[in-house]
Amino acid sequence: MPVHIIGNFLIYCVINAFTPGPGNILALNTVSNYGWKKGRPLFFGIYAGYYVVQILCAVIVYGVVAFFPGLMVILKYIGTAYILWLAFQIAISRPHSNSSARSASFLKGFMLQLVNVKIYLFGITALTGYVVEYSSSFFMYLFFVLIIATIGTIATNTWIGIGYLINDFYLKRYKIINIILSILLLQCAYSMLFH
């Protein structure tokens, strides 16, 4: 796999993982309302759910590659369309307040990730856009989704760890941050189609 593809894969992963999504927002909200100690079960549920969903993504993509190889080209274009949509949504998004977490349970964090469409699309798009062309090994897919889940966990920890700092910084500079993230995602979409 060429180095520039690995670089684009990592850029895509970092942007996707660190931008506000259901898991990051819930983690920020929970740490704000409950603190680290009381929120810890929910955070561990989010982490565990992230890894389970990414492993499911590897299984899904491996099954498609093994049994429907022609479908990968279509999934690549769907993934590119998703990245373009995500870039647009980030560019036009505005900060908004979130409702309080009612409970900070492991199950709540885990179940949130199991139904979090963003991380399914994240994993499938990353694999189909950057990995499938260079490998059809399930273990290679598993390796890359574990990288995705680890980056996602680091992102969630960042949202937890510096909670209000990110919130304050983002609220003050959200327009420029969103434009920069969107441009980086456009570069990722371009590289998926024309590398």
Determine the angle formed by the axes of helices 22-67 and 106-114, rounding to 10 degrees: 50
How far apart are the C-alpha atoms of 27 and 62, rounded to whole Å?
31
Tokens coding 77: 């274009």
How far apart are the C-alpha atoms of 23 and 27, rounded to whole Å?
6
How far apart are the C-alpha atoms of 36 and 84, rounded to whole Å?
35
The reported pTM is 0.73
Report which residue type is found at 147: I
pLDDT tens, residue by residue, 119-178: 888 899 899 889 998 998 999 999 999 999 999 999 999 988 866 566 667 668 778 877
How far apart are the C-alpha atoms of 172 and 194, rounded to whole Å?
36
pLDDT tens, residue by residue, 17-66: 988 777 887 787 777 667 788 889 999 999 999 999 999 999 999 988 78
Residue 24 · residue 163 · CB < 8 Å: no
Contacts of 137 (CB under 8 A, 6+ apart): none
pLDDT at 53: 94
Q: What is the mean pLDDT of residues 107-111?
A: 88
**Percent over 90 (pLDDT), the chain:** 32
Residue 25 · residue 100 · CB < 8 Å: no
Residue 192 · residue 130 · CB < 8 Å: yes
Model confidence at 100: pLDDT above 50: no
How big is the chain by its Cα radius of gyration, in Å?
17
